[in-house]
């Protein structure tokens, strides 16, 4: 009995209907190789399915990277762990490899002076988690707070907070720069409360908890916010010299290091 001829156009339509774009593109190449090497049908099918799944993973990671707004070029490979000896590389690698802390909505808190690598490490952790299949959003705290304030004015704050639930990790960079304004700190507190024990947060801040009264004007709100953040949290203290200052001091060429850039007889604030 003659073999039925395969209609490539019809097969293409069927694969479109099944939403299998990678299979649609690659099946002729796999079929040619299978015919040449005498693959059994099961091997041919398995090869197509594995390729389709790999492509789906790649496209999903691309989408998640695009929406995450991570800092460009900030990876764990480029982070100078040697310059921040109080940070254990093994612990960080265990954090990005594990999922138990994300499942219970635990938090990561990075404290230290400006230029110490907090934002780099936060973004790098976010990238590693995306590569492991999680959705992440990186944002300056002030930017997100302003968006949430607008949502409150538009009477859609609850909806805006719910949309953030799709991100398993929300990275709030530079928490200390939030203006000490009742409206701003109120929506920030509502965000922290909404994610408490449900969705994880990674927060970077220049100021330790003792100085957070500058962020939350109400002492009771300060205490409540800190309590929710630290309940299930890993805290990293990154008290090191600024990377940017160190690079400026070590940079060769014309000019003077930052520590000597201001003449001694000129008063500064």
User: Cα separations (Å) of 236 from 37, 127, 233?
Assistant: 55, 18, 10
Task: Answer yes or no: is 269 within a domain.
Answer: no
Residue % of the chain over a pLDDT of 90: 48
Q: Please tell me whether residues 94 and 19 are part of one structural domain.
A: no
Q: Please tell me whether residues 91 and 184 are part of one structural domain.
A: yes
Q: Please tell me whether residues 98 and 144 are part of one structural domain.
A: yes
Q: Please tell me whether residues 124 and 43 are part of one structural domain.
A: no
Task: Answer yes or no: is 26 within a domain.
Answer: yes
Task: Answer yes or no: is 54 within a domain.
Answer: yes
CATH number, domain with residue 212: 3.40.50.300
Query: What is the pTM (predicted TM-score) of this model?
Result: 0.75
Task: Answer yes or no: is 101 within a domain.
Answer: yes
Q: Please tell me whether residues 133 and 13 are part of one structural domain.
A: no
Count of domains in the chain?
2
Q: Please tell me whether residues 41 and 151 are part of one structural domain.
A: no
Q: Please tell me whether residues 118 and 28 are part of one structural domain.
A: no
Task: Answer yes or no: is 108 within a domain.
Answer: yes
Closest CA to 230 of 199, 207, 209: 209
**Domain hosting residue 44, numbered range:** 8-67
How far is the first Cα of the chain from the last one, in angstroms, to the nearest whole number?
Answer: 93
Q: Please tell me whether residues 156 and 121 are part of one structural domain.
A: yes
Task: Answer yes or no: is 191 within a domain.
Answer: yes
Question: What pLDDT score was predicted for residue 5?
Answer: 63
> What are the tokens at 128?
């590693």
- Per-residue pLDDT of 6-51, as tens digits, reads 777 887 887 888 788 877 788 888 888 888 888 888 888 888 888 8
């Amino acid at each position: 009995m003659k073999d039925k001829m395969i209609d490539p156009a019809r097969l293409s339509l069927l694969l479109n209907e099944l939403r299998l774009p990678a299979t649609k593109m690659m099946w002729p190449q796999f079929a040619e190789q299978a015919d040449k090497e005498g693959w059994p049908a099961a091997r041919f099918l398995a090869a197509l399915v594995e390729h389709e799944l790999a492509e789906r993973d790649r496209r999903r990671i691309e989408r998640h990277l695009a929406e995450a707004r991570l800092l460009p070029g900030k990876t764990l490979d480029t982070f100078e762990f040697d310059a921040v000896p109080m940070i254990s590389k093994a612990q960080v690698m265990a954090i990005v490899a594990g999922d138990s802390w994300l499942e219970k909505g635990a938090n990561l808190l990075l404290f230290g002076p400006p230029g110490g690598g907090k934002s780099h490490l936060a973004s790098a952790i976010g990238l590693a988690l995306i590569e492991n299949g999680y959705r992440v959003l990186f944002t300056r705290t002030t930017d997100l707070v302003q968006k949430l304030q607008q949502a409150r004015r538009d009477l859609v704050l609850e909806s805006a907070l719910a949309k953030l639930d799709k991100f398993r990790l929300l990275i709030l960079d530079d928490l200390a720069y939030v203006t000490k304004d009742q409206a701003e700190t109120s929506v920030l507190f509502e965000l922290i409360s909404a994610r408490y024990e449900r969705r994880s947060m990674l927060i970077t801040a220049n100021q330790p908890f003792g100085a957070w009264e500058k962020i939350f004007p109400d002492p009771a709100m300060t205490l409540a916010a800190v309590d929710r953040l630290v309940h299930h949290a890993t805290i990293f203290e990154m008290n090191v010299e600024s990377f940017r200052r160190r690079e400026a001091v070590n940079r060769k060429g014309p000019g003077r290091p930052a520590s000597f850039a201001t003449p001694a007889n000129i008063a500064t604030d």
